[in-house]
Amino acid sequence: MVGGGISNSDLTHRAIHRARRIGLRLLPNSQDREGFQRTQSRTPTTRQRDTMGNSQPQNHLDSCDSSDGSDEGYVMDDASEESVENFRGRREKRKDMPSLDHEVAHITKLRRAPNDMLSRIYGENKEGYIRTFSMLAGREANVSGRGKFSSADCCHVSSRYLPTGDPVIMDKMNSKAYVGRYSTDGSLFVAGFQDSRIKIYNVDKGWKLQKDVLARSLRWTITDTALSPDQCFLVYATITPVAHIVNVGNCGTESLANITEIHEGLDFSVHSTGDYSFGLFCVKFSTDGRELVAGSSDKSIYVYDLEANKLALQIPAHKDDVNTVAFADETGHLIYSGSDDSYCKVWDRRCLTSRARPAGSLAGHLEGIAFIDSRGDGRYFISNGKDQTIKLWDIRKMTSGNPTQRKVPSFTWDYRWMEYPGAGRDIKHPYDQSLMTYRGHAVLRTLIRCYFSPAFSTGQKYIYTGSHDGSVHIYDVVTGQRVAKLDYHSSTVRDCSWHPLYPILVSSSWDGVVAKWDHPTAADAKSSQK
């Protein structure tokens, strides 16, 4: 039985009846279905051949001649393979929908494109969605021939459920929250506060406090934290050259620096002077957990070898503070960096030396860059800028130098206590290399973070960010429109994190509150209407 007293057989009969009405033949056995799928996926119709020209997706970035148009970071499943040819046909039906003719828009749609047979039977609404009930009915009727949802089908259903319900307070501290992130599998949540506290919660056990870390040698605040890939170690950074590593895999809850546990210092300075010559703004573990990469206030990128327990490399990377670094993909070969000099740069780890040159740079922000998040495919990333915008980038558009022929608009101001002078003005960078710009949030007072939504549940359809106005903003990555704004906090939301599997988002704010947002239930919807 399915919810509402409708049996699985009823759903099957309804789906078959509807398929017959529009002239589709439902295949009687698995052998016929397999042959039918091979025919459909390998032999496009005349109309499809005329539309596509060939079976390969085209590259719509004219400036990237070296690309073959493939998405190296994305392995297509069965639904995606057949939807490459059918995508164009569906797009013709959506001419009234805003769209971008670049590859990341197409890939985002393919990652959440429903099975073509389901689309033909049930149709899509003006937003491009098939009703969830219809999707479930089609699955029960085995319309696709697989007897289950593909990953794209799952994304098609789950990506419409946004975490916009009423917030639940998970913790409240008398200190500003600077960091708040889920672990890769969503089982842990790490929150870092200005008063030297770092809390690790076990999400699977009802947010039970698993580790309460009291940091040492703190200067001003915790600037960043990073969990090792095996989730056994935590590294925290502050505005000093020394980061600290803590074993969080043991059974003890309290971790007082060098009292109950050892917080080993990792010195990132080339010459250990013991002073506060520079600070670390961000730290990231490599995929294999053997190295740490950090961005610093002395305009450099640092690489620390954890196995050798020593600094491996310092790269003079930018002309101003390096606020953020990120790995491009799981290989760890490419590193993105963002700086207060307003440039994003790409570095190849395989050929880095102390005199290394970047593989390329990207211009487009008018002010400094607060944060970078990679899409994880080695090609696309987003950056949050102090010009109050998020920008989407394709590294194939990067150049080897910084263009200087035309003057770039700039203001004399300090984002830590002033409002942005360019607010409300249509000011553009003369050499903007970005694919898309997202506006509506405020990047003031601190290095506010932005991210792609999870690939598993949303197909990375959204971009979300904290904001100085105390809210979380969610944008559609393709249209650029803001689709949701989560209002609750009384102060800046510096960090936020979307659960990798579920429509749950956690915001961490300067009001000391760690709040969890879930998809609204029917009861929530009724109460909001009263």
Pairing of strands 291-296, 300-305: antiparallel
The domain ranges of the chain are 8-59+71-158
pLDDT at residue 431 in the model: 92
Q: How confident is the model over 475-484, as a mean pLDDT?
A: 95
* For helices 151-158 and 78-92, angle between their N-to-C axes, nearest 10 degrees: 50
Q: How confident is the model over 432-445, as a mean pLDDT?
A: 97
As a whole number, the mean pLDDT across the chain is 81
Residue 153 has a CB neighbour count (10 Å cut-off) of: 23
What is the rounded distance in angstroms from the CA atom of residue 325 to the CA atom of residue 334? 11
Residue 181 has a CB neighbour count (10 Å cut-off) of: 21
What is the rounded distance in angstroms from the CA atom of residue 83 to the CA atom of residue 59? 17
Number of H helices, E strands in the chain: 10, 29
pTM: 0.77
Give the least confident one: 48-62, 83-97, 352-366, 420-434: 48-62
Long-range contacts from 156-160, C-beta under 8 angstroms, 24+ separation: 156/112, 156/113, 156/114, 156/129, 156/130, 157/132, 158/457, 158/458, 158/503, 159/112, 159/457, 159/458, 159/459, 159/461, 159/462, 160/129, 160/132
What is the rounded distance in angstroms from the CA atom of residue 476 to the CA atom of residue 484? 9
pLDDT at residue 365 in the model: 97
Q: How confident is the model over 133-140, as a mean pLDDT?
A: 76
Confidence of residue 254 (pLDDT cuts 50, 70, 90): confident
Between these two residues, 406 and 350, which has the higher pLDDT value?
350
pLDDT at residue 20 in the model: 46
pLDDT at residue 35 in the model: 40
Q: What is the largest CA-CA distance in the chain?
A: 80
pLDDT at residue 444 in the model: 98
Strand ranges, E, within 83-183:
168-172, 177-182
pLDDT at residue 185 in the model: 96
Host H or E run for residue 507: strand 504-509
Q: 């307003």: which residue's tokens?
A: 342
Q: How confident is the model over 343-369, as a mean pLDDT?
A: 91
Q: How confident is the model over 371-398, as a mean pLDDT?
A: 97
Q: Is the pLDDT of residue 80 over 80?
A: no
Between these two residues, 222 and 403, which has the higher pLDDT value?
222
Residue 420 has a CB neighbour count (10 Å cut-off) of: 19
Q: Is the pLDDT of residue 65 over 70?
A: no
Between these two residues, 37 and 191, which has the higher pLDDT value?
191
Q: Is the pLDDT of residue 449 over 90?
A: yes
Host H or E run for residue 68: none
pLDDT at residue 132 in the model: 76
What is the rounded distance in angstroms from the CA atom of residue 10 to the CA atom of residue 31? 25
Q: How confident is the model over 476-492, as a mean pLDDT?
A: 97
Q: Is the pLDDT of residue 340 over 90?
A: yes
Query: Helix, strand, or coil here: 221?
Result: coil
Give the least confident one: 153-167, 185-199, 372-386, 512-526: 512-526
pLDDT at residue 140 in the model: 77
Q: 């937003």: which residue's tokens?
A: 127
How many residues does the structure list for the chain?
Answer: 530
Q: Which of 226, 256, 257, 224 is nearest to 240 (CA)?
A: 224
Give the least confident one: 35-44, 86-95, 450-459, 464-473: 35-44
Give the least confident one: 185-199, 268-282, 485-499: 268-282
pLDDT at residue 341 in the model: 96
Q: What is the DSSP secondary structure assignment for residue 399, as one 8-state letter?
A: B
Single-letter amino acid, residue 387: D
Q: Is the pLDDT of residue 51 over 50?
A: no
Confidence of residue 79 (pLDDT cuts 50, 70, 90): very low
Highest-scoring range by mean pLDDT, 258-272, 277-291, 394-408: 277-291
Q: How confident is the model over 120-132, as a mean pLDDT?
A: 72
Between these two residues, 190 and 37, which has the higher pLDDT value?
190
From residue 264, how far is each of 33, 56, 258, 331, 418 by CA, in Å?
60, 52, 8, 27, 38
Task: Read off the pLDDT of residues 182-228 as tens digits, 9 standing for 90 and up.
Answer: 999 999 999 999 999 999 999 999 999 999 999 988 899 999 999 99
User: Of all residues in the chain, what percent carry a pLDDT higher than 70?
Assistant: 74
Cβ within 8 Å of residue 343, ≥6 positions away: 318, 361, 362, 363, 365, 369, 402
* DSSP states along 197-208: EEEEEEGGGTSE
> Residue 217 region, left (φ>0) first, then alpha (ψ -120 to 50), else beta?
left
Residue 214 has a CB neighbour count (10 Å cut-off) of: 17
Confidence of residue 434 (pLDDT cuts 50, 70, 90): very high
**Looking at the DSSP assignment, which residues form a beta bridge with residue 261?**
257
Confidence of residue 273 (pLDDT cuts 50, 70, 90): low
pLDDT at residue 289 in the model: 95
Host H or E run for residue 83: helix 78-92
Q: Is the pLDDT of residue 84 over 60?
A: no
Is the torsion defined by CA of 242, 451, 109, 124 positive or negative? Answer: positive
Q: Is the pLDDT of residue 297 over 90?
A: yes
Pairing of strands 254-256, 208-214: parallel
b vs e for 359-372, b when ≥16 Cβ sit within 10 Å of the residue's Cβ?
A: ebbbbbbbbbbbbb
Q: Is the pLDDT of residue 229 over 70?
A: yes
Between these two residues, 406 and 278, which has the higher pLDDT value?
278
**Looking at the DSSP assignment, which residues form a beta bridge with residue 381?**
374, 393
Confidence of residue 346 (pLDDT cuts 50, 70, 90): very high
Between these two residues, 53 and 515, which has the higher pLDDT value?
515
Single-letter amino acid, residue 276: Y
Q: How confident is the model over 57-75, as a mean pLDDT?
A: 36
Q: Which phi and psi angles does 436 have, rounded to 5°?
A: -155, 150
Q: First and final CA of the chain: distance in angstroms?
A: 33
Task: List the structure tokens of 395.
Answer: 């590294």
